[in-house]
Structure formats: structure tokens, C-alpha cells
């Protein structure tokens, strides 16, 4: 007989689980040492039921695949760790992500799992940071760990830990970060047992099932409302793979069969020679679509895995999204974030008033390594952010992360622990696509290096602009520059490179992409355009060219000239286009 839980108790358990999930974050960042986890919060926790289904969390459960490998050999006190994308069916998508999982028991009865994965700053491989721009196989990208027990019935497996740390350039940071992940999982386990003590184990188990069922029913309604039976398609592109190949097409079709949404990536380009392949787990693909639909169409819904049977995923083997072993994967975030843009473009065609434009399109990173005056090795790794797209509710965010809980590394932290001065950190003027709701601007960050060493850089959206939607215009692209000490002229460098030698006094100018605008820019309130000009987010020239707003040198609006210009621009243009892709090198030339 299925046990039911009254609504008040269900809400109490739901919020207790959500609080436990956020407490996992707090524990991790208090213990971790690396700037990527401690300062930027690049870690993703979840709490699952005994079947391995995520009840609360972010990235969706990969646990059934691990449980399948161990069967009945899972005990109280066990802690599992892994990072090999191919050994866990794509639940971890590159070697830098170390994943920890532990089973949760209440009075000897298995009631669930807690798990976290976090980005380690170095896991070996041929370059510092373990994300080579030019790798052709995963063998070049560092140590690969299949699912193993780092703790067995409460006892640390020193041999496994030694192997993991012996293959990293930053063993102290990795050890602290790993133990932080384990502590976060243990915190969740403690909170779950407390919930079972308070409400009863059977009530807790039933509540988890009801939370999954509730989300499933809400998703069923969204699918029937916003996904049509006729296929809707969308195409976007990744710049290149770091080896000179590209652009790479990502093609998505979405349609409904009964209550089931079919997500078909047929038509996506074959896997790349370089490391931009995204070996995505089928369940993770379902979660991404479900989360997007919840956040775009009904944010009050709690997202979990209850809706998985309402999605059918088609990932062609040998494509960018389902590469064959041993394809390189280290810089898969270009493809990962373009995945989100394709979702927005496809779903937005049936509900344009609820969709959003394209964003900055990857997870840019900057790595600076070398030895200081005391011959001590240093390795700075920082994730940078860009423009988050214009959306129905308002303007996109300037210089913000894709991931809601990420934050920028404090400049004081960087300058205190590494031989670097950050000379400037500001939004890029005119990078946000024009629209009724402006796209977010990219950022420009200037590093002055104080010691000799090497730098590695990874970014995208340098040639393929982020598109605008519902009449909004495309946003600005990214660029990277190196200004040598004693020179007044910076030289442009590639968006994907490794081990470029640098000297004290050299400057790296890292410019990330903006994002697309939402809605007709000729309808944007004049006061909002003027504010952006005064804040140096938009130039006077762009205000006039794209928004039809005439602003004089004293930052005053010429109302009569503006009204006349806007009317003339609307008459000449006609109805705005649903999408503005800008010019895509390698694609539009071929079409011509």
C-alpha cells in the first residue's frame, strides 16, 4: 500500500531537504582550498532516494549507473569517488570533475544517497589545469578514475587517495577539495537521518516519492501546453575545436508524442577532433530540458527527476553530444552551453514571450602557472563570466555566470595568493545585444603578471555571435589580447591556447562575449537607453543606430529627433525578425 503524506508535512520535508542541499554547499566552500570551489562555487550537490533518483539538487542523478556496477556491495560508511566520463556513462563530462557519492542509512535501512561533484584545478595531463586546448584524445587530459571506494565501511583507502593526489600538480588543494566534497555528503546524510527521526522513515520515503510525482504532473502539463506535435527545429554553432576545425553545427528538433517530449539531436555535427565534445548522460539531457522549461514557464515547480519518463532523448552516436571513446572532452563547455542556446531557440518558437536570447556561450577560463621568487610553484585558475541573455522579465545580467550560485573570484583573493595584479574589471561597452530588454554585457578583465610563467586560455563565441530573439539583436563577441611589457600595442591571441610564455609586466586583456537582446529595441524606453549610455554600457552611436535614440554630447535626449528616427526606422525595417544571428563565418560564406 502506498503511504500518503499530508500537505503540511510534505512541505516541511521538502524545505528540510532543500535546506540540507544548501548546507552541503556551505560546508564544501568552508573546507575547500582551491579558488574554483572555495571562491567560485564550482560544485554541484544533490540528495537522492534509495533508487538513486534526485529529489533535490542541480545536475541530476548519475547514481543508478554506479549502483549497477556494485550491486549489493554498498554498505554504510562507504564513499565512492570517480571522474572518468566514459566509465560513468557521461554523468561526469570531463576529468577535472571529481564526483563523490555515499549511501544514506537510517537505523541500518538504506534510504538514499548524497552526492557532489566539483572541479579540481589540476588532475594531471599534458598541461597545467588539465584542459588542453589541442588534445585529440582523453588520454592527454589527466588521470581517469573509474568508480571506486575511497572509504570502505568508514575506513579510508589510502592507496586510492595516494594515486589520485600523485597525479596532480596541486595535490594539497585537491586533497582539501575532495575532503570538502565528502564532508558535504556526510552533512546531507546526517540531515536526512534527522528528518527520518522526526517524521518517521516510512513518511520520509513516501514524501520523496510524492515530491517526484508532483513534479512529474507539473511537467506533463507544461509539455502539453508548450511543445507541439509538429517538430520545431533550431541550429546554432560552436566556433571551433581548438585545432582549427569549425564551426560545428548543433541541430535540435523538439516535438511531442502524447505526453512525451522527444528531444532529437539528429543533424548535429560529428564529434570533433579537438576537446569540445560533450559526452552527455541521457538523464542529464532530460534534466536540462526539464529545468529550462520550469525556469522559463513555471519557476515555482521544484525540479527533480520525477519527470524523466516524460522525455525521450535521441543522441546520435559519434556526434558532438555522444562521442566515441577515446574522444577528447576537456573543453566540452562550449558545446554544453550551446546546448542551452539551442533549447531556448527551439522552445521559444512556440512561446516567444517566455523564452530568452543566446548568452556568452561557454565557461571561459584563464590559467597562469610558474614559479615565484622562492621557487614555489603557483597555478592560478579562474573562471570568467559574460553576458547573460535578455529575457521576458528584463535585461540580461552583465558579466554573470550561467550557473546561478557561481560567483567571481574576489580580486583581493587573486592578488593576495598569486603574482598577479588585476588592473581593470568592467563591462564591455556595446556587447549587450539591443532589445526591448538589453542583452547582458561581457566583461573585460586586465591581468598584469608579476612573475615569468605560461598562460592558457579557453573561450568561445569569438566568431559566432550570440543571437537575439523576438526582434532583439545579436550581442558582441569575445577577444583576447596580450600586451608585452614596454609595448603600447596589444596583440590579439587565440581564444583557445596553451602554455604561452609570459614575462613580468606583461598584460593579458580577457574580453568575454555579450549576449543577445530580447524584443524590439525600437520599443525600449528612452530613459533606459539613456541610463545605459550614462553608465557606459551603450555608446551614443549604438543608441542611435540600434535603438533610434538621439543623445547629445551632454547626455540629453533629443525627443523630437528620437521620435522621428524611430518611426522612420520602423517604416524601413517592417516587422522585426524572430531571430538575429549576426554574421557567422564559415556558415554564411558557404550559403552565399
DSSP 136: S
CA distances from 115 to 5, 24, 61, 79, 511 (A): 26, 10, 9, 10, 35
d(CA 431, CA 424): 17
Other CB atoms within 10 A of residue 567 CB: 12
DSSP 397: P
Q: Examine the domain organization and report whether 500 and 536 are in the same domain.
A: no
Q: Examine the domain organization and report whether 508 and 549 are in the same domain.
A: no
Q: Examine the domain organization and report whether 563 and 459 are in the same domain.
A: no
In a domain, 496, yes or no: yes
Q: Cell numbers at residue 460, please?
A: 568561445
Q: Per-residue pLDDT for the chain (592 aa), expressed as one digit of tens each?
A: 457 899 999 999 999 999 999 999 999 999 999 999 999 999 999 999 999 999 999 877 788 888 888 988 999 999 999 999 998 877 788 999 999 999 999 999 999 999 999 999 999 999 999 999 999 999 999 999 999 999 999 999 999 999 999 999 999 999 999 999 999 999 999 999 999 999 999 999 999 999 999 999 999 999 999 999 999 999 999 999 999 999 999 999 999 999 999 999 999 999 999 999 999 888 888 988 988 888 888 888 888 999 999 999 999 999 999 999 999 999 998 898 899 899 999 988 888 887 899 999 888 999 999 999 999 999 999 999 999 999 999 999 999 988 777 899 999 999 999 999 999 999 999 999 999 999 999 999 999 999 999 999 999 999 999 999 999 999 999 999 999 999 999 999 999 999 999 999 999 999 999 999 999 999 999 999 999 999 999 999 999 999 999 999 999 999 999 999 999 999 999 999 999 999 777 776 654 4
d(CA 102, CA 137): 31
Q: Examine the domain organization and report whether 530 and 430 are in the same domain.
A: no
In a domain, 581, yes or no: no
pLDDT at residue 589, as a whole number: 60
Task: Tell me the pairing of strands 79-82 and 148-152.
Answer: antiparallel
Q: Examine the domain organization and report whether 477 and 566 are in the same domain.
A: no
d(CA 105, CA 50): 9
Other CB atoms within 10 A of residue 57 CB: 24
Q: Examine the domain organization and report whether 151 and 168 are in the same domain.
A: yes
Q: Cell numbers at residue 284, please?
A: 542529464
pLDDT at residue 85, as a whole number: 92
Show the domain range for 138: 7-214
Q: Examine the domain organization and report whether 466 and 564 are in the same domain.
A: no
In a domain, 309, yes or no: no
Task: Tell me the pairing of strands 311-314 and 260-264.
Answer: parallel
What is the sign, positive or negative, of the torsion defined by CA atoms of 45, 51, 56, 59?
positive
In a domain, 56, yes or no: yes
In a domain, 195, yes or no: yes
Q: Respond yes or no on whether the N-terminal peptide bond of residue 585 is cis (omega within 30° of 0).
A: no
Q: Examine the domain organization and report whether 59 and 203 are in the same domain.
A: yes
d(CA 156, CA 488): 55
Closest CA to 556 of 575, 536, 534: 534
Q: Examine the domain organization and report whether 453 and 537 are in the same domain.
A: no
**Strand ranges, E, within 66-157:** 79-82, 97-106, 109-119, 148-152, 155-156
SS3 480: strand
Q: Examine the domain organization and report whether 15 and 162 are in the same domain.
A: yes
In a domain, 273, yes or no: no
Q: Which residue has the cell 595584479?
A: 421
**Residue 119, beta-bridge partner list:** 97
Domain termination residue (choose one: 194, 214, 234): 214
In a domain, 587, yes or no: no
Q: Helices 201-226 and 171-199 meet at what angle, rounded to 10?
A: 110
Q: Examine the domain organization and report whether 564 and 425 are in the same domain.
A: no
Q: Examine the domain organization and report whether 66 and 140 are in the same domain.
A: yes
How many separate domains does the chain show?
3
In a domain, 22, yes or no: yes
Domain termination residue (choose one: 496, 520, 544): 520
- Residue ranges of alpha helices (H) inside 313-395 are 333-347
Cβ 312 vs Cβ 290: under 8 Å:
no
Domain termination residue (choose one: 494, 520, 546): 520
Cβ 121 vs Cβ 36: under 8 Å:
yes
pLDDT at residue 1, as a whole number: 44
Amino acid at each position: 500500500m502506498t503511504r500518503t503524506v499530508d500537505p503540511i508535512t510534505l512541505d516541511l520535508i521538502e524545505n528540510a531537504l532543500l535546506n540540507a542541499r544548501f548546507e552541503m554547499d556551505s560546508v564544501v566552500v568552508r573546507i575547500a582550498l582551491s579558488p574554483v570551489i572555495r571562491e567560485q562555487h564550482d560544485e554541484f550537490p544533490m540528495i537522492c532516494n534509495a533508487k538513486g533518483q534526485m529529489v533535490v539538487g542541480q545536475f541530476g542523478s548519475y547514481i543508478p549507473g554506479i549502483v549497477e556496477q556494485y550491486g549489493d556491495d554498498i554498505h554504510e560508511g562507504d564513499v565512492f569517488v570517480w571522474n572518468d566520463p566514459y566509465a560513468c556513462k557521461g554523468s561526469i563530462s570531463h576529468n577535472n570533475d571529481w564526483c563523490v557519492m555515499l549511501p544514506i542509512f537510517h537505523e541500518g535501512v538504506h534510504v538514499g544517497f548524497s552526492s557532489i561533484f566539483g572541479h579540481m584545478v589540476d588532475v594531471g595531463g599534458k598541461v597545467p589545469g588539465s584542459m588542453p586546448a589541442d588534445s585529440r584524445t582523453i588520454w592527454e587530459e589527466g588521470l581517469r578514475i573509474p568508480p571506486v571506494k575511497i572509504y570502505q565501511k568508514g575506513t579510508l583507502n589510502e592507496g586510492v587517495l595516494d594515486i589520485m593526489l600523485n597525479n596532480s600538480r596541486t595535490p594539497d588543494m585537491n586533497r582539501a577539495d575532495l575532503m570538502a566534497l565528502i564532508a558535504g555528503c556526510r552533512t546531507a546524510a546526517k540531515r536526512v537521518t534527522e528528518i527520518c527521526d522526526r517524521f518517521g522513515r516510512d513518511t520520509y520515503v513516501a514524501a520523496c516519492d510524492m515530491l517526484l510525482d508532483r513534479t512529474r504532473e507539473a511537467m506533463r502539463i507544461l509539455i502539453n501546453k508548450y511543445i507541439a506535435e509538429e517538430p520545431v527545429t533550431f541550429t546554432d554553432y560552436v566556433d571551433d575545436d581548438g585545432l582549427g576545425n569549425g564551426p560545428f553545427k548543433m541541430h535540435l528538433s523538439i516535438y511531442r508524442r502524447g505526453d512525451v517530449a522527444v528531444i532529437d539531436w539528429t543533424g548535429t555535427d560529428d564529434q570533433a577532433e579537438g576537446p569540445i565534445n560533450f559526452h552527455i548522460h541521457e538523464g542529464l539531457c532530460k534534466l536540462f530540458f526539464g529545468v529550462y522549461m520550469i525556469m522559463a514557464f513555471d519557476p515555482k515547480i521544484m525540479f527533480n527527476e520525477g519527470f524523466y519518463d516524460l522525455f525521450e532523448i535521441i543522441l546520435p552516436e559519434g556526434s558532438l553530444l555522444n562521442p566515441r571513446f577515446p574522444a577528447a572532452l576537456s573543453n566540452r563547455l562550449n558545446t554544453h552551453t550551446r546546448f542551452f542556446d539551442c533549447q531556448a531557440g527551439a522552445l521559444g518558437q512556440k512561446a516567444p514571450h517566455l523564452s530568452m536570447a543566446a548568452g556568452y556561450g561557454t565557461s571561459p577560463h584563464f590559467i597562469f602557472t610558474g614559479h615565484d621568487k622562492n621557487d614555489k610553484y603557483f597555478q592560478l585558475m579562474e573562471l570568467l563570466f559574460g553576458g547573460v541573455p535578455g529575457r521576458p522579465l528584463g535585461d540580461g545580467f552583465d558579466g554573470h555566470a550561467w550557473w546561478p550560485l557561481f560567483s567571481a573570484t574576489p580580486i583581493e583573493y587573486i592578488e593576495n595568493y598569486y603574482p598577479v595584479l588585476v588592473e581593470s574589471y568592467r563591462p564591455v561597452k556595446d556587447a549587450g545585444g539591443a532589445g526591448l530588454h538589453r542583452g547582458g554585457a561581457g566583461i573585460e578583465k586586465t591581468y598584469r603578471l608579476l612573475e615569468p610563467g605560461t598562460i592558457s586560455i579557453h573561450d568561445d563565441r569569438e566568431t559566432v555571435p550570440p543571437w537575439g530573439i523576438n526582434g532583439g539583436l545579436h550581442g558582441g563577441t569575445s577577444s583576447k589580447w596580450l600586451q608585452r611589457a614596454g609595448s603600447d600595442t596589444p596583440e590579439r591571441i587565440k581564444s583557445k591556447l596553451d602554455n604561452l610564455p609570459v614575462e613580468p609586466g606583461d598584460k593579458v586583456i580577457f574580453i568575454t562575449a555579450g549576449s543577445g537582446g530580447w524584443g524590439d529595441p525600437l520599443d525600449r524606453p528612452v530613459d533606459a537607453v539613456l541610463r545605459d549610455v550614462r553608465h557606459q554600457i551603450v555608446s551614443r552611436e549604438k543608441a542611435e543606430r540600434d535603438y533610434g535614440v538621439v543623445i547629445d554630447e551632454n547626455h540629453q535626449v533629443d525627443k523630437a529627433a528620437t521620435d522621428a528616427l524611430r518611426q522612420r526606422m520602423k517604416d524601413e525595417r517592417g516587422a522585426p525578425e524572430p531571430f538575429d544571428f549576426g554574421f557567422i563565418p564559415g556558415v554564411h560564406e558557404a550559403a552565399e
